[in-house]
């Protein structure tokens, strides 16, 4: 299936369903393949990613085209593996979420430069997963899949269910059977099939890999398996938006949560693309990775100076980051080291404190993953690894309403009173 | 405090803190007052609303200015009681939420015209309350209040807590002490004072009215009491956005939920303003009100042909609409009758069915209030009161994650299986 001449812009894919994407290329050996529903290199089993011929020569024209485009990730269609008319097809239209200038938080953390929160809780199902799923849905459409599927611990299941409903796909998503009730409702309400698996997330994943090879899984697009190369590209849009919202400028430092590590690697890819096509000035930037102490395989490897990531058994309240064997771990280590960043972790108590700190300073109620990035930012500043005088962007990738349990035990009324002024005064609130 | 010459654009308010707003005027007797933290007419005790000198004479220029403005309600600053530089002040920057073309839902409902959902779950705290609070915060800033407050059953408490945190106000909000745990967490997490009142929402309200007249409440801005005239104007932005997102065109029909009724009246006000300043063509539009059967005082009055609204004791799952004695009820009746609309209600089962219908057709998970509007839309079509061949906009004002209990009992996995292909086949899912 390997092809030799995919660089030619005369291939149907270059002008059609995949926009500027021209091939899949292996991240390990560089072998190229036609754009298809495949995810591993036939030669070396390395992961595949989308390769492009990006628009060059007229950065001003491209910038104008983007700025007058839709208020969603589709404004970046010229840089994504999607057709030019993608915004006219049914989609949840995620993205272009707020970049919040966090002056109150900056004061608390001793940041004298600019501090921004990229708040992805504003997406349609309130996590960054809507971005990646939107690209996967478009690929599924092109490949003729009729069922969308995934393995998930919550956010992704909801994102797939919702996107499938809007786009007219059947969906069948798989979750561990013992998830919190709220996440189950969110995953089921969109009317697709929701299957609880007696086992943990690893069991769910293994089952999905089996199903893909079975006739029962024919015609199924698993967004995070056989559509993964396309899916992953959705995370690039975080980099694009951050730079555009900073006035077409690279941040000096960016703090990204690590689950599989894919998001961090795609943000780096997106920043490099913007430099290459001249949409931002080429300047150094540092990428920092953030993990929970209870699932910190990449942080541990970074600190130990290792190139390989030793798997861990996750035990943290940051369940959306609880991947003990992160597929992109080694790439994350490369990027953190190459850019002069770091990988750090915080414990559950620090995560909860950071969720509350962000809420009380900026009015943003983050999920546990947002507590991880804010907590790690604080720690990196204290340890002198993150320069508080520069422009820093911290990602919040999800919504506190989905992880209420993390803060509920320590978050409640200041007082319960009778409906009288006397009772109000007695409570010391006047 | 009544003034005679507020129409003059040389008053400080006209060019300053309140933008194009020039006075408060009584909706009953028309008496005018200086812009201040007052809410009832000194002459007749009628409710006060903001009166404007709106920009006239250059609709094209205004339209351009709006279209190049921020992606929030502040793009409409020239039409709101806020200063021209409001977007530079700390705010949650709500609004400009998606208007979703709901083709799948249209098919299910037999709508042959355009059907759109205005999805306000995309706001920062996931309800339309962020719009009204943002305007109230700006007024509080101008009046020198240092504490923001409200009585609330949930959505408003969260919106005030978050907005106060970002804008640098102290907050102290009041709720019935026995609210659902999730709503309590959401209201408390932003770090302001949250006070549970031993009593129901009416008791909370009564207590707040007492507090406003007491020295203990000095310097306090109650967004839905002494800041209510400004607060209410936030709902106009729904009308502005809908028309802009339709390509500067009035919808033929719009379905709005009724709690106090304020939102519906302000949407009508907004549409009339757009016509008056020439931003949309003057054409007839119909406004429909939607209530839950268990709290349907306005619907009951509409059907009985009454001008007065008889209070009810609420008993419905649509708690954010459960106001038994809606202050703006009579105005809603006027508007529904004047525009040729109607007021209708649906029962709890129909609300749940409508939440699920919207989720499975469009991937939008609405709170119970969204179930009310979608359910009422269905009923109005069946009864021949809403024309399915025209352009219709239905409001979803909140987020399903906040009212999980409504759908949880009937929403869950299709199957629980072992992680094997055999188990998958046995479940009949292959």
Question: Does A416 sit within 8 Å of B177, measured CB to CB?
Answer: yes
Q: Which is it for the CA torsion B260, B261, B263, B269, positive or negative?
A: negative
Integer Cα distance of A282 and A276 in angstroms: 8
Residue B89 confidence (pLDDT) above 80 = yes
Question: Does A363 sit within 8 Å of B166, measured CB to CB?
Answer: yes
The dihedral region occupied by B107, where left means phi > 0, alpha psi between -120 and 50, and beta the remainder, is alpha
Check if the beta carbon of residue A48 is closer than 8 Å to that of residue A40. yes
Integer Cα distance of B336 and A81 in angstroms: 48
Integer Cα distance of B191 and B25 in angstroms: 36
Same fold, B99-126+235-410 and B129-231: yes
Q: Which chain A residue has its CA at the smallest distance from B101's CA?
A: A90
What is the reported pLDDT for A14? 42
10 Å CB burial of residue B57 (0-12, 13-18, 19+) is exposed
Chain B interface disruption, residue of A188, A189, A351, A405, most B CBs within 10 A: A189
Identify the weakest region by mean pLDDT among B93-97, B104-108, B424-428. B424-428
The angle, 0 to 180 degrees and rounded to 10, between the axes of the packed helices A155-167 and A129-143 is 40
What is the reported pLDDT for A7? 39
Residue B9 confidence (pLDDT) above 50 = no
Residues 6+ apart with CB under 8 A from B340: B284, B286
The ranges assigned to domains in chain A are 12-52, 99-126+235-410, 129-231
Tens digit of each residue's pLDDT (9 = 90 or more) over A122-181:
999 999 999 999 999 999 999 999 999 999 988 999 999 999 999 999 999 999 988 877
What is the reported pLDDT for A407? 96
CA B428 to chain centre: 44
What is the reported pLDDT for A200? 83
Integer Cα distance of A290 and B239 in angstroms: 42
The minimum CA-CA distance between A176 and chain B, rounded to whole Å, is 9
What is the reported pLDDT for B430? 73
For residue B363, list chain A residues with Cβ-Cβ distance below 8 A.
Answer: 92, 124-125, 161-166, 190
> Shortest CA distance to B393 belongs to which of B409, B413, B377, B375?
B377
DSSP-derived 3-state class of residue A58: coil
Integer Cα distance of A129 and A398 in angstroms: 9
Check if the beta carbon of residue A359 is closer than 8 Å to that of residue B165. yes
Integer Cα distance of B373 and B368 in angstroms: 9
For residue A407, list chain B residues with Cβ-Cβ distance below 8 A.
Answer: 185, 189
Q: What are the backbone angles phi and psi of residue B325, rounded to the nearest 5°?
A: -130, 75
Question: Does B189 sit within 8 Å of A359, measured CB to CB?
Answer: yes
Check if the beta carbon of residue A404 is closer than 8 Å to that of residue B181. yes
Integer Cα distance of A298 and A261 in angstroms: 9
Query: Could you tell me what percent of chain B has a pLDDT over 70?
Result: 97
The dihedral region occupied by A362, where left means phi > 0, alpha psi between -120 and 50, and beta the remainder, is alpha
Chain A interface disruption, residue of B185, B351, B362, most A CBs within 10 A: B185
Query: Of A126, A195, A413, which has the smallest distance from its Cβ to B429's Cβ?
Result: A195
The minimum CA-CA distance between A2 and chain B, rounded to whole Å, is 31
Q: Which is it for the CA torsion A60, A61, A66, A68, positive or negative?
A: positive
Question: Does A429 sit within 8 Å of B195, measured CB to CB?
Answer: yes
For residue B90, list chain A residues with Cβ-Cβ distance below 8 A.
Answer: 103-104
The minimum CA-CA distance between B89 and chain A, rounded to whole Å, is 11
Tokens of A382: 């204290």
CA dihedral A139, A143, A146, A149 (to 10 degrees): -50
Query: Of B158, B168, B198, which has the smallest distance from its Cβ to A104's Cβ?
Result: B168
For residue B166, list chain A residues with Cβ-Cβ distance below 8 A.
Answer: 104, 362-363
Question: Does B189 sit within 8 Å of A356, measured CB to CB?
Answer: yes
Computed over every residue of chain B, the mean pLDDT equals 94
Integer Cα distance of A245 and B366 in angstroms: 29
Query: Of B166, B356, B402, which has the smallest distance from its Cβ to A362's Cβ?
Result: B166
Question: Does B188 sit within 8 Å of A411, measured CB to CB?
Answer: yes
Tens digit of each residue's pLDDT (9 = 90 or more) over B28-42:
999 999 999 999 999
CA B401 to chain centre: 18
Integer Cα distance of B62 and B77 in angstroms: 11
Architecture (CATH level 2) of domain B129-231 = 3-Layer(aba) Sandwich (3.40)
Tens digit of each residue's pLDDT (9 = 90 or more) over B101-155:
999 999 999 999 999 999 999 999 999 999 999 999 999 999 999 999 999 988 9
> Shortest CA distance to B327 belongs to which of B270, B268, B259?
B259
Integer Cα distance of A182 and B21 in angstroms: 44
Give CA angle at A311 (A308, A313), nearest 5°: 160
- A 10 A CB-CB count for B131 gives 29
Question: Does A168 sit within 8 Å of B104, measured CB to CB?
Answer: yes
Integer Cα distance of A225 and A231 in angstroms: 9
Check if the beta carbon of residue B163 is closer than 8 Å to that of residue B129. no
CA A258 to chain centre: 9
Check if the beta carbon of residue A237 is closer than 8 Å to that of residue A266. no
The dihedral region occupied by A301, where left means phi > 0, alpha psi between -120 and 50, and beta the remainder, is alpha
Q: Which chain B residue has its CA at the smallest distance from A197's CA?
A: B417
Check if the beta carbon of residue A44 is closer than 8 Å to that of residue A31. yes
Q: Which is it for the CA torsion B417, A327, A371, A347, positive or negative?
A: positive
For residue B360, list chain A residues with Cβ-Cβ distance below 8 A.
Answer: 165, 189-191
Query: Of A172, A189, A210, which has the smallest distance from its Cβ to B411's Cβ?
Result: A189
Question: Does A189 sit within 8 Å of B400, measured CB to CB?
Answer: yes
The minimum CA-CA distance between A180 and chain B, rounded to whole Å, is 11
What is the reported pLDDT for B15? 53
Q: What are the backbone angles phi and psi of residue B146, rounded to the nearest 5°?
A: -115, -15
Average pLDDT by stretches of 10, chain A with 430 residues:
38 70 97 96 96 93 96 98 97 98 98 98 97 98 97 93 98 90 90 94 88 92 96 98 98 97 98 98 98 98 97 92 93 98 98 98 97 98 98 97 93 94 89
Architecture (CATH level 2) of domain B99-126+235-410 = 3-Layer(aba) Sandwich (3.40)
DSSP one-letter string for B126-138:
SSTHHHHHHHHHH
ipTM of the complex: 0.95
CA B6 to chain centre: 29
Question: Does B124 sit within 8 Å of A98, measured CB to CB?
Answer: yes
Tens digit of each residue's pLDDT (9 = 90 or more) over B209-263:
999 989 999 999 999 999 999 999 999 999 999 999 999 999 999 999 999 999 9
Question: Does B417 sit within 8 Å of A197, measured CB to CB?
Answer: yes
Tens digit of each residue's pLDDT (9 = 90 or more) over B176-188:
988 877 889 999 9
Residue at token pair 């555009």? A244
DSSP-derived 3-state class of residue A262: helix
Check if the beta carbon of residue A111 is closer than 8 Å to that of residue A381. yes
Query: Of B190, B196, B411, which has the smallest distance from its Cβ to A413's Cβ?
Result: B196
10 Å CB burial of residue B400 (0-12, 13-18, 19+) is buried
DSSP-derived 3-state class of residue B346: strand
Integer Cα distance of A312 and A325 in angstroms: 7
Question: Does A216 sit within 8 Å of B425, measured CB to CB?
Answer: yes
Tens digit of each residue's pLDDT (9 = 90 or more) over B273-310:
999 999 999 999 999 999 999 999 999 999 999 999 99
> Shortest CA distance to A119 belongs to which of A407, A366, A287, A368?
A366
Integer Cα distance of B69 and B75 in angstroms: 5
The angle, 0 to 180 degrees and rounded to 10, between the axes of the packed helices B155-167 and A348-362 is 80
Query: Of A162, A216, A424, which has the smallest distance from its Cβ to B211's Cβ?
Result: A424
Integer Cα distance of A368 and B176 in angstroms: 28
What is the reported pLDDT for B428? 86
Chain B interface disruption, residue of A247, A413, A421, A427, most B CBs within 10 A: A413
10 Å CB burial of residue A143 (0-12, 13-18, 19+) is middle
Q: Which residues of B193-228 are buried (b: 16+ CB within 10 A; e: fewer)?
A: bbbbbebbbbbbbebbeebbeeeebeebbbbbbbbb
Check if the beta carbon of residue A146 is closer than 8 Å to that of residue A168. no
Check if the beta carbon of residue A189 is closer than 8 Å to that of residue B410. no
Categorize the per-residue pLDDT at B84 as very low, low, confident or very high, splitting at 50, 70 and 90.
very high
Q: Which is it for the CA torsion B368, B371, B376, B382, positive or negative?
A: negative
Query: Of A361, A363, A407, which has the smallest distance from its Cβ to B163's Cβ?
Result: A363
Question: Does B420 sit within 8 Å of A216, measured CB to CB?
Answer: no
Q: How many CA atoms lie within 13 A of B112 on its CB side?
A: 2
């Amino acid at each position: 299936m390997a092809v030799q001449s995919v660089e030619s812009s005369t291939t149907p894919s270059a002008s059609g369903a995949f926009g500027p994407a021209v091939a899949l290329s292996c991240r390990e050996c560089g072998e190229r393949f036609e754009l298809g529903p495949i995810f591993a290199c036939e030669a070396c089993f390395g992961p595949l990613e989308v390769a492009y011929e990006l628009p060059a020569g007229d950065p001003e024209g491209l910038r104008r085209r983007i700025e007058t485009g839709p208020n969603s990730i589709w404004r970046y269609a010229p840089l994504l593996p999607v057709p030019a008319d993608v915004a006219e097809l049914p989609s949840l239209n995620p993205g272009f979420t707020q970049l919040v200038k966090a002056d109150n938080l900056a004061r608390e953390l001793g940041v004298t430069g600019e501090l921004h929160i990229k708040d992805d809780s504003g997406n349609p199902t309130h996590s960054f997963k809507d971005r990646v799923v939107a690209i996967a849905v478009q690929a599924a459409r092109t490949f003729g899949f009729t069922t969308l599927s995934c393995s998930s611990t919550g956010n992704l299941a909801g994102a797939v269910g919702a996107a499938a409903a809007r786009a007219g796909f059947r969906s069948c998503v798989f979750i561990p059977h013992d998830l919190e009730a709220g996440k189950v409702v969110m995953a089921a309400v969109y009317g697709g099939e929701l299957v609880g698996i007696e086992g943990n997330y690893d069991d769910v994943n293994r089952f999905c890999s089996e199903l893909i090879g079975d006739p029962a899984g024919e015609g199924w697009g698993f967004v995070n398996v056989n559509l993964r190369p396309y899916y992953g590209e959705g995370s690039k849009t975080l980099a694009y938006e951050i730079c555009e919202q900073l006035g077409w400028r690279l941040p000096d430092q960016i703090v990204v949560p690590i689950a599989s590590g894919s998001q961090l690697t795609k943000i780096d890819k997106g920043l490099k693309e913007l430099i290459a096509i001249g949409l931002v000035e080429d300047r150094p930037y540092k990428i920092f990775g953030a993990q929970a102490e209870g699932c910190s395989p990449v942080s541990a490897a970074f600190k130990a100076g290792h190139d390989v990531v030793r798997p861990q058994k996750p035990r943290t309240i940051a369940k959306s980051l609880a991947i003990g064997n992160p597929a992109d771990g080694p790439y994350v280590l490369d990027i953190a080291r190459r850019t002069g960043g770091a990988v750090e972790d915080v414990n559950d108590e620090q995560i909860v404190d950071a969720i509350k700190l962000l809420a009380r300073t900026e009015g943003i109620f983050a999920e546990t993953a947002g507590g991880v990035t804010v907590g790690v930012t604080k720690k990196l500043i204290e340890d002198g690894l993150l320069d508080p005088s520069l422009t820093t962007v911290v990602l919040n990738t999800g919504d506190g309403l989905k992880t209420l349990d993390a803060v509920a035990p320590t978050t409640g009324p200041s007082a319960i009173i009778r409906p009288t002024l006397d009772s109000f005064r007695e409570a010391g609130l006047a």
